[in-house]
Amino acid sequence: MKTIDAISKLVLANKILSQEGILEAFGHVSMRNPENQDEFLLSCSRAPLLVSEDDIMRHNFDGDVLDKTYKPYAERILHGQIYKSRPDVQAICHNHAVSLLPFTTTGTEIKPVIHIGCMFYDGIPLYDDYDVSDGMLIKNANEGLRIARSLADKRALLLRGHGVIVVGGSIEEVVMGSIYLSINAEVQFQSMQLGTPKYLSYEEARAATEVMYSDFALKRAWDYWQARTNL
């Protein structure tokens, strides 16, 4: 994939995640630059629904903007430190989906309870080590490194009172994971009101993840979400 094609796909990811209620005025999604694995692509500081191709900027892992002079997101640091620590990660979304927030404040574990929430079967750790001087924003290198260490080899990391970080091997995986993690959390919460949920077993979820993250399933879902944006 060329950088120019990745930029177009990243803009569409911003639109999809906004349409599906994952990103709102705040939050952000990025991609590793396919033509330079030591860079990542991320919009300037703008509400995701409004992001255009001209807003996308190249960054290095220290969060320095390499090609434009627009105001960057303060939390670009978390993206850079994760990409630096995880060569397998090709895309990242930080969002504040409402269904996830009660889990971040109570420490209640999110577990796959429905088929489409399967991809988080390895668990989702909780980050609670903020630099209070930064207003709970991940915007300095030391805290970005702590975020990367807390995420470790998982697909997501909850941030206490702040939201979640979702990572994946492609932008399609991150979009699917972000949407279905939020839906799974909503269903889990509702199930807990009725009784004791029966969660997916490790093997059920592992096998289901292979299906959900297959090229066919990812494209089918991506095409559906794209159609809903009217783009």
The 10 Å Cβ neighbour count of residue 137 is 15
Which of helix, strand or coil describes residue 92?
strand
Confirm if 75 and 130 have CB atoms less than 8 A apart.
Answer: no
Query: Residues 20, 39, 75, 173: which is the catalytic one?
Result: 75
Does residue 75 carry a catalytic annotation? yes
Separation of alpha carbons 181 and 100, rounded Å: 8
Rounded to the nearest 10 degrees, the angle between the axes of helix 202-212 and helix 215-229 is 60
Confirm if 146 and 82 have CB atoms less than 8 A apart.
Answer: no
Confirm if 175 and 188 have CB atoms less than 8 A apart.
Answer: no
Confirm if 140 and 80 have CB atoms less than 8 A apart.
Answer: no
Burial 177-197 (b: 16+ CB within 10 A, else e): bbbbbbebbbbbbeeeeeeee
Catalytic residue set = 75
